[in-house]
């Protein structure tokens, strides 16, 4: 039911907002899936690789090339976009090979794109501190492999993860729609922004940590104090951002949500 609500909401979005949400969700999923295995991926590299493979033009996106990231993205896209296709041996092997770019399929130190060889002992699950889901994942995986063929506990854990993933996807899609409506409103009101202002606004929509101050504006845009203040004052006058209640040396700013609200009402 929850999955149906998210899918229905997505279908109601405009085309641009759908792809914005899809890119954001896939980026998060790819990063977190790798984190379970203790692999930290660069978000910009992942986003760039996904955008290239989906044929999306994303403003301000730098071109990054990372063979490992490209392999992970290739696997994730095949798994998420072609989920109705049979999960064959060949497909599993291709996914495995994607995770080890440049390594031969057989005859190398690592067996890539082939069944695991337990001739030197069974696989051992070795886990350490990283993520809450990671611990649960390894715990239930080890129990399932060491016990009988009863997969009830595994399915219960997996469905719990799925439920949390759907909730996260819903939040991400809401954020993507909010961003899309925000920019549409600015365009409709013919608000012209310079590159520095666009860069900061995009960061505010991408999970900006802490409060936006003039000093942070200067650091992000590499602008002088006077230029940063001028940019901020222009956006306040245009009704794009507003000053938070606290003033003085701790003066900070936030997005003015009225632009998005108007867009949603229409």
Q: What is the CATH number of the domain that holds 239?
A: 1.10.10.10
Is 187 inside a domain boundary? no
CB 262 within 8 A of CB 185: yes
Q: How far apart are CA 263 and CA 189, in angstroms?
A: 11
Same domain, 124 and 24: yes
Number of domains in the chain: 2
Q: How far apart are CA 212 and CA 241, in angstroms?
A: 10
Is 81 inside a domain boundary? yes
> 201 lies in which domain range?
192-265
Tell me how far CA of residue 240 lies from CA of 176, 189, 223, 233, 258, in angstroms: 17, 11, 20, 10, 8
Same domain, 23 and 132: yes
Is 178 inside a domain boundary? no
Same domain, 161 and 228: no
Is 176 inside a domain boundary? no
Is 142 inside a domain boundary? yes
Same domain, 132 and 206: no
Which of 171, 204, 237 is a domain's end point? Answer: 171
CB 3 within 8 A of CB 31: no
pLDDT tens, per residue, the chain with 266 residues: 888 888 777 776 666 667 777 787 788 878 877 776 677 888 888 888 888 888 877 655 667 778 888 888 888 889 888 889 999 999 998 888 887 776 654 455 566 777 777 676 665 544 433 755 667 777 777 777 776 777 888 888 888 888 888 888 788 777 777 777 788 888 888 989 999 999 898 888 776 778 899 999 999 999 999 999 999 999 999 999 988 876 666 788 988 865 443 334 43
Same domain, 150 and 258: no
């Amino acid at each position: 039911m929850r999955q149906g609500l998210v899918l229905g909401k997505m279908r109601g979005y405009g085309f641009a907002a759908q792809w914005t949400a899809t890119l954001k969700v896939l980026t998060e999923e790819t990063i977190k899936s790798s984190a379970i295995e203790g692999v930290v991926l660069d978000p910009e590299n992942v986003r760039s690789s996904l955008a290239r493979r989906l044929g999306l033009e994303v403003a301000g996106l730098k071109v990054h090339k990372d063979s490992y990231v490209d392999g992970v993205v290739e696997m994730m896209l095949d798994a998420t976009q072609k989920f109705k296709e049979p999960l064959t041996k060949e497909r599993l092997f291709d996914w495995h090979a994607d995770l080890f770019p440049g390594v031969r399929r057989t005859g190398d130190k690592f067996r890539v794109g082939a069944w695991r060889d337990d001739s030197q002992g069974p696989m051992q699950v070795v886990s350490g501190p990283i993520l809450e889901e990671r611990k649960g994942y390894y715990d239930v995986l080890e129990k399932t492999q060491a016990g009988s063929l009863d997969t009830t506990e595994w399915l219960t854990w997996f469905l719990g993860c799925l439920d949390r993933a759907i909730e996260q996807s819903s939040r991400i899609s809401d954020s993507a729609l909010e961003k899309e409506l925000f920019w549409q409103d600015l365009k409709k009101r013919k608000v012209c922004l310079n590159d520095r202002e666009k860069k900061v606004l995009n960061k505010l929509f991408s999970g900006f940590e802490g409060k936006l101050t003039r000093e942070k504006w200067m650091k992000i845009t590499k602008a002088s104090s006077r230029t940063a203040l001028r940019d901020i004052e222009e956006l306040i006058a245009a009704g794009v951002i507003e000053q938070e209640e606290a003033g003085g040396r701790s003066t900070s700013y936030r997005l003015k949500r009225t632009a998005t609200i108007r867009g949603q009402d229409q």
